[in-house]
Homo-oligomer: A and B are copies of this chain.
Amino acid sequence: MSSGDLRRPLTVALLGGGTVGASVARILTDSARDLEERVGAPVVLTAVAVRDAAKERPGIDPSLVTDDAAAVASSGVDVVVEVMGGIEPARSLILAAMEAGSSVVTANKALLAADGATLYEAAERNGVDLYFEAAVAGAIPLLRPLRESLAGDRVTRVLGIVNGTTNFMLTKMDEEGVDYDEVLAEAGRLGYLEADPSLDVDGHDAAAKAAILAELAFHTRVTLDDVYCEGISRVTSTDIHAAQAMGFVIKLLAVAERADGGVVVRVHPAMLPRSHPLASVRGAFNAVFVEAEAAGEMMFYGRGAGGAPTASAVLGDVVAAARNRLSGGRGPGESTYSNLPVLPVGAAMTRYYVNLDVADRPGVLASIASAFADNGVSIQVVRQDGHGENAGLIVRTHRASDASLRRTVEQLSGLDTVKRVLGVMRVEGEAGE
């Protein structure tokens, strides 16, 4: 059955010697015997390409360290692991590795979301594997189940908490009543924020992961540019309190779903019922909730970041790629056969929560109800808060297209009975219509 030599050593080279790279190198050494048993042959680390070869790197054999990444990439080892991040030179190095016949394992979500197609095509053309379990939700084994275990099912929706920093921030705001600016400062002090904090708080990191998830779930090419993205910087204490009063919690969600003959992919803060499995995902944890036709509802939960968790996912991919090298086979490649249109967020079917500061005079509710009706949006609940000068009105809608909900909010803002729109947020994870 096998075209390879069953016991020849498998060679692995690392591009990147940062936190994740060092963890990968350490596990390759410390667990060498386990890995040999699981792969069916010894796994040997041949090189670690870093920017500064002079820097001390505990746990990495200094004789393996080099600053010549191009030479490492094209060295023709069995598996090249790319954990340097960024678009370039990562992309060129990965392509060079594939041209040299190496399978590639990467944790590079930014590159996959920006230009995955180039990598997938190169893997196909060169007959090598491209694995990237660590690129989404760190240590959580999620992409392999999505690609393989659900290969006989039809995924309808993916809802994920895929950015640990914003989940930590929203958890603090919910549980401790801390406001946004304060919790942002705390996340910074704890070293949770990316060098460019907007990657976290504006949802760009989550959007890259959403693109990757959507592509695998729906067998359709999705890039970062296809993802609608709203961050958490406009989540207020008013929103948090309103959510609590209604039995909801606010999470930054990555949503990818079938809608209107296509796929919509979006990242934004959303209210979730506290009984939803994602609602109890606290702090820096990640979780992805998947709905499939036959399997029903599933959730995958775990650590989304960190050197060791990410290294665990990378090593799982290394073992898979190494096994394929030995057996002369290949893992399932990327598949975009469904080729569904990726639709704008307006096509998404969702619900809104709208919090309005309204004038206290007869006919207010009628004018507001008309604005919803005019746009074909059906109201689920209206709750009046306070009275007189402080009259507030909280409306929750039934499901409608995001476009019509947005038009409704615009129309409401123009009403003279509405003094101010205090808050608008999508509501996800409720059963029924």
Residues on A lying within 8 angstroms of B by beta carbon are 1-3, 23, 27, 31, 34-35, 37-38, 127, 133, 139-141, 144-145, 148-154, 219, 277, 280, 292-303, 306, 308-309, 311-320, 323-324, 327-330, 332, 335, 337-338
Contact = CB atoms under 8 A, between A and B. Distances in A.
Interface centre among A35, A153, A154, A297 (most CB of B within 10 A): A153
Interface centre among A31, A150, A338 (most CB of B within 10 A): A150
Given A1-B329, A300-B300, A302-B297, A292 B312 contact: yes
Main secondary structure of the interface of A (DSSP, over half): mixed
A356 B313 CA distance: 47
A277 B283 CA distance: 13
| Copies of the protein in its oligomer | 2
Contact of A3 (B3, B153, B219, B324): B3
B302 A298 contact: yes
Contacts of A317: 152
Given A152-B27, A280-B277, A337-B37, A308 B296 contact: yes
B145 A1 contact: no
Contact of A315 (B1, B153, B329, B338): B153
B294 A308 contact: yes
Given A148-B320, A149-B316, A298 B296 contact: no
A247 to B, nearest CB: 15
A153 B301 contact: no
A299 B288 CA distance: 11
A139 B296 contact: yes
B139 A144 contact: no
A158 to B, nearest CB: 13
Nearest to A28: B152
Given A23-B294, A330-B327, A316 B153 contact: yes
Contact of A145 (B38, B144, B318): B144
Contacts of A337: 37-38
A294 B319 contact: no
Contacts of A309: 294-296
9 contacts: A37-B335, A141-B150, A144-B144, A144-B145, A153-B312, A297-B303, A298-B302, A327-B329, A328-B329
